[in-house]
């Protein structure tokens, strides 16, 4: 009953790994440590160091650990930087997801929870964002996450893949003192860095296409996110092959001020 967490040495992935442990579910981590830290992974959890772009490694990991499902957190997550590095973003988030799905199909693994993003909505002209709100991503990052959802949907139709996509943004907090948000681009680290330096935090958002991350997004606490991800989704009923990607209500139904 082992689950694979891609990107499990990162801030969010490490929380997911801990939640699996607390639930008594065996877990293995695949991470290239490009932005994660092996020290974030709890003692006793196997870390396979490598990229999701390495299909042979992914398939071998799935088979050797008898993996039954995947939580796919690995990816390039910086919306603003993705404007300057679109090809890198698509390679990591789109090609990487396709390679992972192909390896899963070869290994007979048919369950996946996908770390999508509220960036798929862009800046909606509405006061409340729900799952059916039109998608209009404003950066290569947001587009890559939406394409990832399409890949899961189409693979579900073709092979019966059971899949869930979680759209969230600005995940904050820590369920463990040894895990923290080390990103140089995320909102809350920037805010607290400014406060510690005696500066007034500043936040600017516009609707200019391909220049900023979406002004509208969901803020979640990391322990809440990981609990909903690994405990409830593992026990959820199988989705039908023709089902569309679904998202956790907590991740999508968030108040959103008009810009």
Structure tokens at 25: 């579910």
Spatial separation of the C-alpha atoms in residues 85 and 151, rounded to whole Å: 22
Q: CB burial class (10 A; 0-12, 13-18, 19+) of residue 146?
A: buried
Q: By the 8 A CB rule, do 73 and 6 touch? A: yes
For residue 204, count CB atoms less than 10 angstroms from its CB and return exposed for 0-12, middle for 13-18, buried for 19 or more: exposed
Q: Confirm if 222 and 12 have CB atoms less than 8 A apart.
A: yes
**Catalytic choice (76, 78, 90, 141):** 141
Is 141 one of the annotated active-site residues of the chain? Answer: yes
Burial class (CB in 10 A: 0-12, 13-18, 19+), 202: exposed
Query: Which residues are part of the catalytic machinery?
Result: 141
């Amino acid at each position: 009953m082992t689950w694979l967490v891609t990107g499990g040495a990162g801030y969010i992935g490490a929380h997911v790994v801990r939640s699996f442990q607390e639930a008594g579910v065996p877990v293995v981590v695949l991470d290239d440590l490009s932005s994660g830290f092996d020290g974030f992974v709890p003692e006793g959890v196997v870390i396979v160091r490598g990229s999701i772009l390495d299909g042979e490694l992914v398939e071998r990991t799935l088979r050797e650990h008898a993996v039954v499902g995947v939580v796919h957190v690995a990816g390039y997550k910086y919306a603003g930087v993705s404007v300057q590095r679109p090809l890198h973003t698509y390679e990591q988030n789109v090609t990487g997801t396709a390679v992972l799905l192909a390896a899963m199909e070869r290994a007979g693994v048919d369950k996946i929870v996908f770390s999508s993003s509220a960036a798929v909505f862009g800046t909606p002209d509405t006061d409340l964002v729900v799952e059916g709100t039109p998608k209009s991503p404003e950066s290569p990052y947001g587009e890559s996450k939406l394409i990832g959802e399409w890949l899961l949907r189409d693979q579900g139709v073709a092979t019966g893949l059971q899949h869930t996509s979680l759209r969230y943004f600005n995940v904050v907090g820590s369920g463990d003192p040894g895990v923290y948000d080390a990103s140089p681009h995320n909102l809350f680290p920037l805010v607290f860095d400014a406060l510690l330096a005696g500066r007034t935090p500043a936040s600017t958002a516009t609707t200019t296409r391909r220049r900023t991350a979406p002004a509208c997004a969901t803020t979640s606490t990391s322990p809440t996110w990981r609990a909903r991800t690994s405990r409830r989704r593992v026990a959820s009923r199988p989705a039908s092959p023709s089902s569309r990607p679904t998202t956790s209500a907590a991740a999508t139904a968030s108040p959103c001020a008009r810009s």
